[in-house]
Amino acid sequence: MTTPPRILYCNCTYAQVVPKEVKEAVLKKLCESGVAFDAVADLCEMSARLDPALKRLADGGAVKIAACYPRAVKWLFHAAKAPLPIEAAEILNMRVQSADEVANALFSAELQPNLPTGKATKPSAVELPKSEVAA
C-alpha cells in the first residue's frame, strides 16, 4: 500500500497576493475534513530565516503544497537548503486556481508532481563539469 502524500498549506500571511477568499476557503475545507495537515504562516518568511522546519516539511516524502507558483515554491525551499523532492511534490497555486480546484487536488490520492525541472538556460561555467569547461 502506498502512503498518501502529506498536505502543507501556506497562509501567505505577510502579503495580500493570494486572494483572501481562496485561501480561507481552502483552509476551511481542510479544517472540515478529517485529514491531518501542516499549516505555515508564510513560506517566504520561513525561507528568509532558513527555518529548519522547511527541511522537515521537505524531507517527509510525497507532499502536496497549497501555496503559489511552483517555480517560486521550488526555489524558496532550495534557498533554505531544504530542496523539495522533484518527483514527489505537487504545488497547488492559490493565486490562480479556485478553492475547489485546490481542495480537490489536495484530497485526491493521486499525486501529480509539477515542479519545474531542468536547466532552462545555458549552464554557467560554475555549473559545468571541469572537463566540459576546458572543451
Interface residues with other proteins (CB under 8 A) are: 3-4, 6-8, 11-15, 17, 24, 27-28, 30-32, 34-42, 44-53, 55-57, 59-61, 68-73, 75-76, 78-79, 95, 116-122, 124-127, 130-131, 133-134
Q: Yes or no: say if 92 and 65 are a contact pair by the CB < 8 Å rule.
A: yes
Nearest of 92, 75, 67, 76 to residue 9 by alpha carbon:
67
Looking at this protein, which amino acid is placed at residue 55? Answer: K
Gap between the Cα atoms of 103 and 81, Å rounded: 28
Minimum gap (Å) between residue 103 Cβ and other proteins: 14
Minimum gap (Å) between residue 58 Cβ and other proteins: 9
Report DSSP state, residue 62.
Answer: S
Minimum gap (Å) between residue 115 Cβ and other proteins: 10
